């Protein structure tokens, strides 16, 4: 699951409204995503927040690169984790030394 945050550059926010067929330019259908779970509009730094199901991180990166290459919008992708994934990560042993230590 991923959260995509979009900032419109050239098109007005009204261009992001849902289409008659129920799709929205921000809902992930244009990107090969497995499906959008939500598409919400906001005011502030970002204009559209969408949660989408993506098959893997490589696909998430490819989608972001394709969207950003158009120059119409910029997208940031945040990979969302389930509570079970966080529990598994928390129980994993990691050896880490901070820089300069």
Q: Pick from 72, 64, 15: which is nearest to 41 by CA? A: 15
Numbers of helices and strands, H then E, in the chain: 2, 4
The answer to whether residues 16 and 47 touch, using CB atoms and an 8 Å cutoff, is yes
Q: In what order do the strands lie in the sheet with 73-79?
A: 35-41, 48-53, 2-8, 73-79
Of 23-32, 36-45, 69-78, give the range with the top mean pLDDT. 69-78
Q: What band does 30 get if pLDDT is binned at 50, 70 and 90?
A: very low
pLDDT for position 93: 94
Does the structure show a pLDDT above 90 at 88?
yes
Residue ranges per structural domain of the chain: 2-81
Burial of 2 per CB tally in 10 Å (0-12, 13-18, 19+): buried
């Amino acid at each position: 699951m991923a959260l995509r945050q979009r900032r419109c550059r050239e098109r007005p926010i009204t261009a992001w409204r849902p289409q008659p067929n129920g799709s929205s330019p921000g809902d992930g259908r244009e990107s090969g995503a497995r499906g959008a779970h939500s598409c919400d509009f906001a005011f502030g730094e970002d204009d559209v927040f969408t949660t989408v199901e993506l098959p893997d991180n490589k696909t998430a990166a490819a989608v972001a690169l394709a969207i950003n290459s158009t120059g119409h919008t910029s997208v940031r992708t945040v990979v969302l984790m389930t509570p079970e994934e966080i529990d598994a990560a928390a129980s994993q042993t990691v050896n880490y030394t901070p820089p300069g230590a």
